[in-house]
Amino acid sequence: MKKNLIFTFAMAVALMATSCNQENTTDTATTGTEATAATPTADATVANPNIATTEQTAATPANPNAPAMSFKETVYDFGTVKQGEVINHTFTFTNTGKEPLIIENASASCGCTVPEWTKEPVAPGQTGEIKVQFNSTGKAGQQAPMVTIRANTEPNITQVSLKGTVEASSIPTAGAEGPVKRN
């Protein structure tokens, strides 16, 4: 029984060691020129219009008439607040492009933050708003909720955020010595 177990284990190791080496495998049906065309090179990249590459940011955008969002501020520091307070802030932007700007969606990084945005198209030179509400209930310490905006701009994703510190409530919680008894 012990010999069979050792033999089975040795066969499994040998099988795994030989099956993982795929460097020497070739397909006899393909010739050298066909094999080169079938295998992608390391330099091949997939064009993703949602992500701005270094070349795109340095050069002019693919569509020079595309709408563009220019914010007065992209980060709002709300300072220090007590736990349970609700912070409201409005991010104002201007369409600096040559076509109407349409916001498809705005989503927050957590459920404590709710964005509302301009639903109608923003004409070139006009302004729009993203209203953000942050509820600090259940939060403590440094907070940085982020809002991701998807629009018909290039690149089509823009982010704005809030930052600040939430002070813990004055209700005592469990410490190193255990739960706190309230009278």
Q: 136-146: b or e for each residue (b if 16 or more CB lie within 10 Å)?
A: beebeeebebb
Q: Which domains occur in the chain, in start order?
A: 62-167 (2.60.40.10)
What is the structure's pLDDT at 21? 45
User: Is the Cβ–Cβ distance between 97 and 65 less than 8 Å?
Assistant: yes
- For the entire predicted model, the pTM comes to 0.60
Per-residue pLDDT of the chain (183 residues; tens, 9 = 90+): 677 768 787 776 666 655 544 444 444 444 444 444 444 444 455 555 555 544 444 445 578 889 999 999 999 999 999 999 999 999 999 999 999 999 999 999 999 999 999 999 999 999 999 999 999 999 999 999 999 999 999 889 999 999 999 998 766 556 666 666 665
What is the structure's pLDDT at 11? 72
What is the structure's pLDDT at 36? 46
What is the structure's pLDDT at 6? 80
User: Is the Cβ–Cβ distance between 101 and 151 less than 8 Å?
Assistant: yes
What is the structure's pLDDT at 50? 57
